Amino acid sequence: MQKGKINVQTENIFPIIKKFLYSDHDIFLREIISNAVDATQKLKTLASLGKFTGDLGDLTIHVNVDKKKKTITVKDRGIGMTAEEVNKYINEIALSSAEDFVKKFKTKTEADRNAIIGQFGLGFYSAFMVSDKVEILTKTYKKGGATKAVKWTCDGSTEYTLSDIDKTDRGTEIILHIDGESKEFLEEHKILELLKKYSKFLPVPIQFGTEKVWEKVEGEKDKDGKDKQIEVVKPRIINNTNPLWKKKPADCTDEEYKNFYRELYPYSFDEPLFHIHLNVDYPFNLTGILYFPKVKKNLEVQKDKIQLYSNQVFITDQVEGIVPDFLTLLHGVIDSPDIPLNVSRSYLQSDSNVKKISNYITRKVADKLEELFKNDRKTFEQKWDDIKVFIEYGMISEEKFYERAEKFCLLKNIEGKYFTLKEYKNHIEKTQKDKDKKLVYLYTNDVDSQHSYIEAAKERGYDILIMDGVLDNHFINSYEQKTSDSTFKRVDSDTIDKLINKEDNQISKLDEKQKEELKAVIEKNINKEKFTVVFENLSEGDLPFMIVQPEFMRRMKDMSALGGGGMGFMGNMPEQYNLVVNSNNPIITKILGDKEPKNQSKIIKQIYDLALLSQNLLKGQEMTNFIKRSVDIIK
């Protein structure tokens, strides 16, 4: 028997590993199983090269939990190790002395500590986060000489023992004696959860216990004449060793893509709109399948759905900063051996390969969208409402994507017609310009509540866009900044003639003195803190009172509510509106002509409440008063 000390000269690293090194203690299982997979894959490679001529046999990796013994065992039939190799790979800390390791660890922030594992080759030692003793039983695949099976034991101190044992089968068995603080890992459901999270697509079969399944009995029927089925107990294989993203795109069917989506997201009821199959081997290796989901109003719900893998080993599903932010709305899988396993997200964000991968995916997404638009515009338009948020998000946040997306970004008007940005510009070129020759894009974000304003615009032959998406305000802002000859105006942000012409086209029936007299009467009957009274010379057929909210103030407040634009302070500002008085409406002249204050007040309050109602601003006691007053008027 050999006794010795692991090469740690100044400080015991195990307490550091146990308490701090990984932010998630459950990562230990990924590390141990990844090592087992690596050992198995190496044996398969040696066999393919003719350097191992024995029988490979069953290469399934077995995971077992023994609650009574308080152990977790991971057993493989890979290359195994000799005593010399155990000394080299287990007892010697890779790449650095212990002093350097401890020094570097202590200077790291908590967010960067995961990177330490990868830099120092300490994946195996993650076992000590949950164990008070770890044993390795291993036998090499090699023949002859010093190839006896050996057992390595360590109790979490720097001391270990290494002894010969009787073990006939090649491969390695890791036995973790779980400590008192980590009892949760002795529960079958917990290990099953971790295996499904980290090992779902590993390239070597992983067995954990057994499961009951129903199997058809060949040639036998039940009493209803259907194929007879019986319940049987089978080994429970956790993983799909050949996931769809490993196949060539040309060999995959639409049904397979749909089935794989269900495999990734078994609790999702919506089918994806379409997919992109990534497959590149230069200048980096990358495979994967990304799906376009139906994007809901709540963007945050959509995130954390891309699963990042390295050689089929799960890394994370939090890919913000690793891929452009708008791509986090996609679902699916990215797998690249060029993405290091044991690193923090901050490390990944600065890694040159990761940046190249991110740019490649952005380009492929743009390629796919442009291809769909060019080849089948009708279908693209049908899916537009579901992918609009995603495309706007990309155009707002990524300049390169904006340049590509200009070709297939669509605008929809209230007639349900779709236009590219260029097409719509041409569509309104002759009819919708203000006095400064700027194109005016009229839009509504609520067809029902803004109906009267929309009708006023339609009567004048103007076109109105529907911009009711969660990111439309941000998109409008971005587009205006890039196109200095265009401005967006919501149909209820001012009277329609002012929105387009910025000048009065009608002669007023009231002189300035009459306007001042009437303004004083109106202000007595409205909320002066919330509404500013302004007179405009509209046609007799236009409403007597209209409530509008200036475009800039309303848009900034809406953007602040969603987040972004640096306008957080806007959310605390009170709502401000203009009460537009149509000086040419007969009701207005009637109010002025009736010198009885009670009659004036009654009419003003009624048309004021009607204006409030049109903007969904009439609520509570005011609504009750309006209803009662309306009934009295009818009587």
Query: What pLDDT does residue 111 have?
Result: 44
Task: Return the number of other C-beta atoms located less than 10 Å from residue 95's C-beta.
Answer: 11
Residue 5, both tokens: 């000390």
When the candidates are 3.30.230.80, 3.20.20.120, 3.30.300.30, 3.40.50.300, the CATH number that belongs to 244-378 is 3.30.230.80
> In this predicted model, what pLDDT tens digit does every residue of 312-321 receive, in sequence order?
888 888 787 6
Half-sphere exposure of 454 (CA within 13 A, CB side): 17
* DSSP-assigned states of every residue in 509-542: SS-HHHHHHHHHHHHTTS-TTTEEEEEE---TTS
- For helices 620-634 and 597-614, angle between their N-to-C axes, nearest 10 degrees: 120
Residue position matching structure tokens 């265009």? 486
**pTM for the structure as a whole:** 0.76
Segment among 42-46, 455-459, 550-554 with least mean pLDDT: 550-554
Q: What is the mean pLDDT of residues 328-354?
A: 72
CA dist., res. 92 & res. 88, Å (int): 6
Average pLDDT of 325-337?
Answer: 88
Handedness of CA 90, 341, 353, 257 (dihedral sign): positive
Name residues whose C-beta falls within 8 Å of residue 82's C-beta, 6 or more positions apart in sequence: 140, 142, 146, 147, 148, 150
Beta bridge partners of 208: 63
Q: CA gyration radius for the chain?
A: 35
Q: Do domains 2-208 and 506-555+572-635 have the same CATH topology?
A: no
Residue 565 CB neighbour total at 10 angstroms: 15
**How high is the pLDDT of residue 12?**
58
Q: Give the percent of the chain with pLDDT over 90.
A: 40
DSSP string computed for 385-412: HHHHHHHHHHHHH-HHHHHHHTTT-EEE
Q: How far is CA 220 from CA 215, 217, 223, 232, 474, in A?
A: 12, 6, 10, 16, 64
Q: Which two tokens stand for residue 578?
A: 């203009």
Q: Does domain 2-208 fall into CATH 3.40.50.300? A: no
Run of H or E including 609: helix 597-614
Task: Give the separation between CA 554 and CA 205, rounded to whole angstroms.
Answer: 58
Read off the pLDDT of each residue in 162-184 and give the average, rounded to a whole number.
Answer: 93
Place 18 in a pLDDT band, splitting at 50, 70 and 90: low
DSSP bridge pairs for 532: 578
526 pLDDT exceeds 70? yes
Q: What is the pLDDT of residues 90-100, one digit of tens each?
A: 877 533 333 44
| DSSP H helical ranges for 199-351 | 254-264, 299-302, 345-350
The β-bridge partners of 323 are 320
Which range is most confident: 294-298, 569-573, 600-604?
A: 600-604
Architecture of domain 506-555+572-635 in CATH? Up-down Bundle (1.20)
Mean pLDDT of 472-488: 89
Token pair listed for 404: 């590509």
Decide: residue 596, CB within 10 A, 0-12 exposed, 13-18 middle, 19+ buried: exposed
What's residue 496's pLDDT? 81
Contact predicate 542/456, CB 8 Å: yes
- For residues 286 and 280, the answer to whether their CB atoms sit within 8 Å is yes
Cα–Cα–Cα angle for 241, 323, 422, nearest 5°?
120
Lowest mean pLDDT: which of 245-259, 364-378, 493-507, 599-613? 493-507
User: Measured between alpha carbons, how far is residue 615 from residues 131, 414, 577 in Å?
Assistant: 65, 19, 11
Task: Provide the mean pLDDT of the chain.
Answer: 84
Q: How confident is the model over 576-632, as pLDDT tens digits?
A: 888 999 988 999 988 888 888 888 999 999 999 998 888 888 889 989 988 988 888
Q: Is the pLDDT of residue 146 over 90?
A: no
Rounded mean pLDDT of 151-178?
A: 91
Q: Delimit the domains of the chain by residue range.
A: 2-208, 244-378, 506-555+572-635
Neighbours of 304 (CB within 10 A): 14
pLDDT in the model for residue 164: 93
Higher pLDDT, 346 or 458: 458
Higher pLDDT, 108 or 437: 437
The more confident residue out of 5 and 254 is 254
Residue 450's pLDDT band, with cuts at 50, 70 and 90, is: confident
216-225, 249-258, 360-369: least confidently modelled range: 216-225
What is the reported pLDDT for 99?
41
Mutual orientation of helices 472-482 and 377-397 as an angle, nearest 10°?
80
pLDDT tens digits, one per residue of 28-87: 898 899 889 999 999 999 999 999 988 999 999 999 999 999 999 999 999 999 998 888
Q: What pLDDT score does 607 carry? A: 92
What single DSSP character describes residue 135? E
Q: What is the per-residue pLDDT for 122?
A: 55
Considering 23-27, 376-380, 619-623, the range whose residues carry the highest mean pLDDT is 376-380
**Cis amide linkage into residue 15, ω under 30° from 0:** no
Q: Which residues pair with 418 in a beta bridge?
A: 412
Q: What is the three-state SS of 556-574?
A: HHHHHHHCCCCCHHHHHCC
